[in-house]
Structure 1
Amino acid sequence: MVRRQNAAEAERDLVRVCHTTADPTVVQDRVLHHLRRLLTADAAFFATADPTTLLFTGARTEEPLTGSASLFLDNEFGGGDVNAFASLARAPVHVATLDDATRHDRHASARYRDIMRPLGLGDELRAALVVAGQCWGYLCLHRTESPRGFSTREVALLERVGPHIAHALRRAVALCRAEQDTVVNRPGVLLLADDLSVVASTPEAEQLVDLIGRNPSGFPLPAAVCSVAAALHAVQRGVPLDPSATVRARNGRWISLHAARLQGPAWQGTISVVLEPTDTRGTPSVLLGAYALTPRETEVATRVLRGESTRTITDGLHISAHTVQDHLKAIFDKTGARSRRELVGLVFAPR
């Protein structure tokens, strides 16, 4: 960790990385590297998120967390524990420590009692990574067991840099490039047991799972698959979640995931996860959000993507044609598109 006089420079380096790096894996590597110049973190969990449903779309864990990833997942979606990531995303303040949330009674948290303490971990510093009102990921930093937890200075640091990290994740969604050219056009189905082990799968599901990628998360399946299944468990316990997510795949295309419980005695306890290559469904809101459009610009862009004319947009939004053109100019400036046709291609074509 740097000395105090160098902290400002180290923080500037971290912010610079967030505004110049487009690969999500590189973003995570560099963010953690620069954060550790500023504070002590003995282990870290770093996830990307669907800003619409707030579920994980990817995750990485460090030892000693990896072997307990499934336990953390159960706790996260089980409801009732402090500092759940989705709760932080919705809260006015998006950063919190375990010690502050429990008033320094760590045993009040089931996550601490059942998972962290047996791993030799003490306080944790959690953040929902939010920018412009949208959550693009989560970060949790852990310290080994000690009465000394994270300081108010360290909380304030993460509050300052959190929006920059969120910007980096948002930018990575917009600018990511295809790693492979595999194309899967048909949906796939995974059947999972309650412990998330695979009961059965279609060939298309196996291909789509591979395209989502296996982040170093410790989960038995990609984090997005586990997240929608865990959210389904939570829904059945009365927690208001949408067991769905949209993920940018390694071939540059989009995949939507949705979990549901199968009915009938032969399928009791079985979870169905449908994975579907998608173009218009769910994609525009995620990708347009990645370009930091204003709410009105997003409305105009969404109507352009539907093929609406300027006249139809003016009638639907009750604005002038001149205002529509002003919004389109701003949209083109932010996305790099030069025409309506290029905007459609930018959103729907694989990159």
Structure 2
Amino acid sequence: MNTQTYMQKLELLAERSISSYSYIHSLLEELKPLLPFAGACCTNIDPYRLLSTGAVVAHNMESIHHQLLTYAYGQEGVHSYDNMTPSHTSVMTLHCATEGQPEQSSRYQDILQPAGFGDELRAALLYKGSCWGYLTLFRKQDQSLFSEQECQWMVEIAPIIAKHLRQFSLAIPFVNEVKLRSPEILMLSQQLELLSSNSDTHHWLDVLRQHEGITTSALPRSILTVASMALTDDTIFDQRLHTDCCSSSLPCSPIQVCVPVREHDYIDITAYALYSHTSSIQLMIAIQSASPLDILPWMMEDYHLSEREKQIVDQVIEGLSTRKIADILHLSPCAVEEHLQSIFAKTKTTSRRELIARLLSQTDCIISR
């Protein structure tokens, strides 16, 4: 199948899918005969924090997915998505990244090789400069390495996949009347085992599991992501070095992700690592409805604002004058006004006050435009 034909097939898959997860499942089934793999993981990404909002793990990868997640946030510097996304090297294989020496990767030595895998292909799913997902394909040691031709084919189709993930992330058909007005709290151990929760917390865990297509009692991957990153945050160790041994448990810098959940608005998940010198680290996870400021980047994306226009909106919300915005962004006041007129046209507003009200409305519903 040529690239153009496959792109058309992807468009049909997106039209027939009710969520990003059903789309990803169908995508992987269509992809496997054309680009053979023994395991796969496709992750939805919050493009503003580059953290997972959920993932589809296919073909018996569940047993090692938690280990891979831990290495993804703090223990692996070779062939990482952190290195790929800012450099816009959107597709790369493990063997290419290590120049044929995969043992340079601790992830390969500790996880992939013992599980029988010999190579992996990673694709950062970029659309118009923003990353909306990560796709990782794995091959067993008795399979051929991913070829340069296969990588090039993935480079061509990755933006189409990213475009569809963007559409699903922004397409919330309605806002549920039930909002999390105050955070629900659950506690996890350092081994990411559930220590305490209540019935309300269990309800929202079930909402997130349903959103991610998880049919077991496993923790949602969006929670595992922020928890894993909180555990690997360097500030934990920096603060422990400078904290008196008699101090009580103190939180480190929170790790936050905003998850667009179909029929439940945008949900904010924040992880705090709590520690003391007399006990191991515990994690406090707060789940609540995202605030207007949390949702603002998604709103601006949905209105197709350019990067410069987004910068100007941020300054407008801060209450800065045209002259001050021009000074900060190194533009002329006339250029700022021209950008503002474009912003007003895209958001169907006529003034700064109306623009702020539109973007920060508690009841505004994002529907992909």
- Shorter-chain TM range is 0.7 to 0.9
- Counterpart in 2 of 1:131? 127
Residue 286 of structure 1 deviates from its aligned partner by 2.8
Shift of the alpha carbon at 1:196? Answer: 0.6
Structure 1 residue 271: deviation in Å? Answer: 1.0
Tell me if structure 2 keeps the 8 A contact 1:18–1:167.
Answer: no
Structure 1: unaligned runs, 5 residues or longer: none
Query: How far apart are the structure 2 equivalents of 1:224 and 1:98?
Result: 25
The residue aligned with 1:24 is 20
Task: Give the letter aligned to residue 346 of structure 2.
Answer: A
Instruction: Structure 2: give runs of 5+ residues left out of the alignment.
Output: 239-252, 327-332
CA contact (8 A) 1:88 1:94 kept: yes
Cα displacement string for residues 28-56 of structure 1 (whole angstroms, at most 9, x for unaligned residues): 12322332353112221011111122111
Q: Which one of 153, 176, 183 corresponds to residue 187 of structure 1?
A: 183
Question: Alpha carbons of 1:322 and 1:67: their partners in 2 closer, same or farther (altered >3 Å)?
Answer: closer
Report the 3-state secondary structure (helix = DSSP H, G, I; strand = E; otherwise coil) of the residue aligned with 2:95.
helix
CA RMSD of aligned residues (A): 3.5
Distance 1:216 1:106, change over 3 A: farther
1:186 alignment partner, SS class: coil
Question: Which residue number corresponds to residue 39 of structure 1?
Answer: 35
Classify 1:314/1:34 alpha carbon distance in 2 versus 1 (closer, same or farther; 3 Å): farther
Work out whether 1:207 is the aligned partner of 2:219: no
> Per the alignment, in what secondary structure is the counterpart of residue 118 of structure 1?
coil
Q: Distance in 2 between matches of 1:228 and 1:106?
A: 28
**Structure 2: distance between partners of 1:128 and 1:113:** 23
Residue 291 to residue 339, structure 1, CA distance change in 2 (3 Å)? closer
SS of structure 1 residue aligned to 2:264: coil
Confirm or deny: 8 A CA contact 1:127 1:138 kept in the other structure.
yes
Secondary structure of the 2:191 match is coil
Match of 1:285 in 2: 297
1:68 aligns with 2:84: no
| Alpha-carbon distance in 2 for matches of 1:277, 1:79 | 31
CA positional deviation for 1:255: 1.6
1:247 corresponds to which residue?
Answer: 259
Equivalent in 312, 320, 324 of residue 340 of structure 2: 324
| CA deviation map 1:137-196 (0-9, x unaligned) | 110011222362111111111111212211111111111335976433221112110111
Matches within 5 A, 1:290-305: 290-299=302-311
Q: Which residue of 2 aligns with 1:260?
A: 272
Check 1:242–1:27 CA distance in 2 against 1; reply closer, same or farther (3 A cut): farther
| Contact kept in structure 1, 2:270 and 2:286, CA below 8 Å | yes
- The answer to whether the 8 Å contact 1:95/1:125 transfers is yes
Shift in CA distance, 115/187, structure 1 to aligned 2, threshold 3 Å: same
Query: Which deviates more, 182-191 or 55-64?
Result: 182-191
Q: Which residue of 2 aligns with 1:151?
A: 147
Which residue of the partner structure matches residue 92 of structure 2? 96
Pairs aligned (count): 339
Sort the Cα spacing of 1:72 and 1:326 in 2 relative to 1 into closer, same or farther, 3 A: closer
Cα distance in structure 2, aligned partners of 1:121 and 1:129: 23
The partner residue of 2:226 within 216, 225, 228 is 228
Evaluate the alpha carbon distance shift between residue 326 and residue 286 of structure 1 in structure 2; reply closer, same or farther with a 3 A threshold. closer
What is the one-letter code of the residue matched to 2:280? Answer: Q
Q: Distance in 2 between matches of 1:20 and 1:328?
A: 34
1:263 CA drift (Å) = 3.7
TM-score (normalised: structure 2): 0.78
- 1:10 and 2:10 matched: no
The residue number in structure 2 matching 1:276 is: 288
Alignment partners' CA distance in 2, 1:81 and 1:146 = 26
C-alpha distance in 2, partners of 1:118/1:281? 44
Normalised by the length of structure 1, the TM-score is 0.82
